[in-house]
Amino acid sequence: MTTCLNDYRLTLAGREYVPIMIGGMGVDISTSALALAAAQLGGIGHISDAMNQFVSDKNYGTTFSRQKSAKYRFLNNNPDKSEVLFNLHHVREAQLNHVRRTMEKKGSKGAVFLNIMEKLSMRQGRETLQTRLTSALDGGIDGITLSAGLHKSSFAMMSEHPRFHDAALGIIVSSVRALSIFLRAAKKVGRLPDYVVVEGPLAGGHLGFGTDWSEYSLKAICLEVIKFLQDNDLQIPVIPAGGIFTGGDAVQFMEIGASAVQVATRFTVTHESGLPASAKQAYFRASEEEITVGSISPTGYLMRYLKTSPCFGSSVRPQCQAFGYVLSEAGKCAYIEAFEKTACDDKGKKLPVNDKICLCHHFSKSNCYTCGHYTYRLKDTSNRLADGTYQLLSAEHVLNDYLYSTGNNVKRPEEENQTLYSL
């Protein structure tokens, strides 16, 4: 009998799950609804805490960003943002809003985890990160996945919390070296991760690789991580991510020793995804040539995105007063520098900023179409409708296709009551 992903099970922190995670896509692409859909089927869904105050304002009616903008309005035309600080009480309340509202809707099946990025320095990196971590635990999150950084201090920041040994805690890495650095720090507080997500070079959004990313292979890195853990007598589940497009892809990783897979790209075009309808259709229409990896992010990480993203050609003034999620300890951001260096036209209007984008602003507007390498294949998972658009999918449909399909087969959704174009 041909093996499918549903033939396997993931055991994590004493609980059993179907072996599939939906990755934590920010800003609010991995919505509560998307995470809960994964949990309902017995898997693990993520929400993201990227720009958590903005997400709280959008979804729960708070005014944290507006209050912060008003407080620092006097810095609107000043490139020095060293006075901008986040209100830690607001950071905590925003995190609690998102986590508690999500967990209130969760049933007994599956789990909901929170993706927390270290690279969101937020001007006070240590203070804001610790607040985000501990308030997520206070809110009752099932687990936390640490991403975008080495997180050498993150376990220590949570070590005094009563749920430190109760919640599932994991780390995303892209190399054995990064994992070994994290494990040395974790051992100092007597707590190893419950799982390791190995993210390869074909993942969406920010990447843990340099310009030589194409020389790396997710399978090779996974095998290195699995061997490293075995050599050190560590029984920690390994979960590959990045470029796993079909159930057959997933099974190949299970056969080499993975415990589950993390997937994301195919869920960007679901009803539950937080992307606006126009962005979902842009993902469907995308060609392979439109997908690129570049250094436009002010974080310093390379990022994969669609060249057709509306953020390009923008000259928006830095939005650090309201946002400022990537401000350094000194109140600096690479976009501020790029903005200041960009000339004005003969009428005094700022020309387009080409080197970087204002990440916070464009993520808040869903104008930056970060994406996985195989986004151009999304059109092959759907039906093209009479008006030229593509049929949105349900998260349940995509999850079941991963779990039950074999080989590289992809099941399209039931056709809507419209005349379809042939593909």
* pLDDT value for 421: 42
With beta carbons less than 8 A apart as the criterion, state whether 75 and 322 touch: no
- Cα distance between residue 105 and residue 95, in whole Å: 16
Taking residues 350-375, report their average pLDDT.
Answer: 96
pLDDT per residue as tens digits for the range 51-88: 999 999 999 999 999 999 999 999 999 999 999 999 99
* pLDDT value for 423: 39
- Cα distance between residue 133 and residue 135, in whole Å: 6
- Cα distance between residue 153 and residue 292, in whole Å: 33
Taking residues 139-165, report their average pLDDT.
Answer: 97
Q: What is the 3-state secondary structure (H, E, C) of 319-374?
A: CCCCCCCCCCCCCCCHHHHHHHHCCECCCCCECCCCCCCCHHHHHHCCCCCECCHH
pLDDT per residue as tens digits for the range 128-137: 999 999 999 9
* pLDDT value for 422: 40
Residue 420 pLDDT > 80: no
* pLDDT value for 18: 98
- DSSP-based three-state secondary structure for 21: strand
* pLDDT value for 409: 92
pLDDT per residue as tens digits for the range 297-316: 999 999 999 999 999 999 99
Contacts for 339-344: CB closer than 8 Å, 24+ residues apart: 339/79, 339/315, 340/79, 342/315
1: pLDDT confidence band, cut at 50, 70 and 90?
low
Just give the CATH number of 5-275+386-404.
3.20.20.70
* pLDDT value for 228: 98
CA distances 158 to 90, 131, 136, 153, 289, Å, are: 19, 10, 10, 9, 43
415: pLDDT confidence band, cut at 50, 70 and 90?
confident
* Domain locations in the chain as residue ranges: 5-275+386-404
Percent of the chain with pLDDT over 90: 95
Residue 218 pLDDT > 90: yes
pLDDT per residue as tens digits for the range 230-275: 999 999 999 999 999 999 999 999 999 999 999 999 999 999 999 9
Higher pLDDT among residues 420 and 346, named by residue: 346
Average pLDDT, rounded, for the chain: 96
Strand pairing class (261-263; 291-294)? unpaired
Taking residues 22-46, report their average pLDDT.
Answer: 97
